[in-house]
Amino acid sequence: MVDTDDDEDFEDAEAGAFRRTCSLPISEAEIDAYTKRVMTVAKAMEADGFDLPTKFEALTAIAFLWFAEKKPDFVVLEVGLGGREDSTNVIDHPLVSVITSISKDHTAQLGDSIDEIAAEKAGIIKEGCPVVCGAGAEGKRGIAKRAYACSAPLLDVDRIYKRVHEKAASGSRFSAVIRGVRYEDIYLSMGGGHQIANALCALATIEVLRKTYKVSFSMDEVRHGMAQARVEGRFEIVSKSPLVIFDGAHNAAGAAALADAAEELLSGKRILLLTGIQADKDSVAMLQEFLRFADGLILTESSNPYALPAAQFLEKAAQVMHDSGKQRPVEMIGNREVAYVTAKQQLADYDCLIVAGSLYLLGDYIRATI
């Protein structure tokens, strides 16, 4: 059930339930206090014969307890893995369930096919609660089936009319019509076509909240939010001269999105890729995507214990380059600090350095303030 018939004008009035506020993280002192409370209950459960909660389950309980006592106006709750059996999936009546793009990842837990993974993600859909779906054509079928079974109104992001005015590494500008409401000339401060798709999911969610629950958003608030939106380590320009970009791209789908963005936004530039990935990822598929845009590669590894050793990564890269016929200069440097310094030095021969392949690797560099 797709609702696209709303032709109401956007409410620009200052009055309304929602106002732009400053978001602050939970403090270290609060984490300590709430952790003690949750673990006291957890130990009592264990004494009664129950299993201790996992780390993620304990963190979820801490978050829920904090939300309950702080009483925020809205909670944006992201699942940890999949959806159906995730620790966060205990909300009986969410205001809206949002499912974004779907790719093959965590297949051991979620299934080997897009259909199976989509079915797991569709588990967050609840009876009568609106759904925003930004999944591709293959994954959309299972989500639509679940929404229909739950009598949940479905807003399909793929059916939103949009027009892209400008694309650059630093951001994009686009317009869209969602349920008859015109979002004109929206500036998004993140580069890549995949981020426009994500932005449309966010705008569709705003429309559901506005229409279904009469939550008021002014167009100025929406514009400000989109212009200020940042996701650390997602096609993030960390230096303009020399040009250095950080991108998590931690699985095959992420690598493909990065390759699309690099081909479109960095056309004509010679790109050096510094990369390290986790051992459980599809290294062959990721390397195939990286070779679409990388003119040279430096292979390293993060501090995470599950990182793919750089020597094994080099073997994979040699095989992929042989099989594809795409030979590139490649260097293995296991020490990630040395790898970054070497990559910066080699920028004399390149126009851009992209660091990608693992959020853990990016985290190492960000913490080291390199």
Higher model confidence: residue 318 or residue 109?
318
Domain count, the chain: 2
Cα dist from 270 to 30, 172, 180, 322, 330, whole Å: 47, 22, 43, 21, 14
CATH of the domain at 307: 3.90.190.20
Same domain, 247 and 152: no
Same domain, 276 and 202: no
In one letter, which amino acid is 314? L
Mean pLDDT of 43-62: 92
Task: Flag whether 166 is in a domain.
Answer: yes
Task: Flag whether 355 is in a domain.
Answer: yes
Q: How confident is the model at residue 8 (pLDDT cuts 50, 70, 90)?
A: very low
Residue 300 pLDDT greater than 80, yes or no? yes
Task: Flag whether 49 is in a domain.
Answer: no
Choose one of 228, 260, 289: the last residue of a domain. Answer: 228
Q: How confident is the model at residue 193 (pLDDT cuts 50, 70, 90)?
A: confident
Task: Flag whether 51 is in a domain.
Answer: no
Same domain, 88 and 125: yes
Percent of the chain with pLDDT over 90: 64
Say if residues 340 and 307 touch (Cβ distance below 8 Å): no
Same domain, 170 and 298: no
Higher model confidence: residue 140 or residue 177?
177
Q: Which two tokens stand for residue 301?
A: 């590894």
Task: Flag whether 176 is in a domain.
Answer: yes
Residue 18 pLDDT greater than 50, yes or no? no
Same domain, 223 and 82: yes
Q: What is the pLDDT of residue 19?
A: 37
Q: What is the pLDDT of residue 301?
A: 95
- Which residues span the domain enclosing 304? 236-367
Same domain, 298 and 333: yes
Partnered with residue 247 across adjacent β-strands are 356
- Starting at the edge strand found earlier in the chain, the sheet holding 352-356 runs 236-240, 243-247, 352-356, 271-275, 296-299, 330-332
Mean pLDDT of 71-86: 85
Sequence-distant (6+) residues with CB within 8 A of 142 are 115, 118, 119, 122
Same domain, 343 and 363: yes
Same domain, 306 and 359: yes
Would you mind telling me the total number of residues written for the chain in this entry? Answer: 370
Q: Taking the C-alpha atoms of 267, 268, 270 and 274 in order, what is their torsion angle to the nearest 10 degrees?
A: 0
Task: Flag whether 180 is in a domain.
Answer: yes
Same domain, 207 and 253: no
Q: How confident is the model at residue 107 (pLDDT cuts 50, 70, 90)?
A: low
Mean pLDDT of 274-288: 95
Q: What is the tens place of the pLDDT at every residue in 141-154?
A: 888 999 999 999 99
CATH of the domain at 159: 3.40.1190.10
Residue 280 pLDDT greater than 70, yes or no? yes
Choose one of 228, 261, 287: the last residue of a domain. Answer: 228
Task: Flag whether 264 is in a domain.
Answer: yes
Mean pLDDT of 29-56: 93
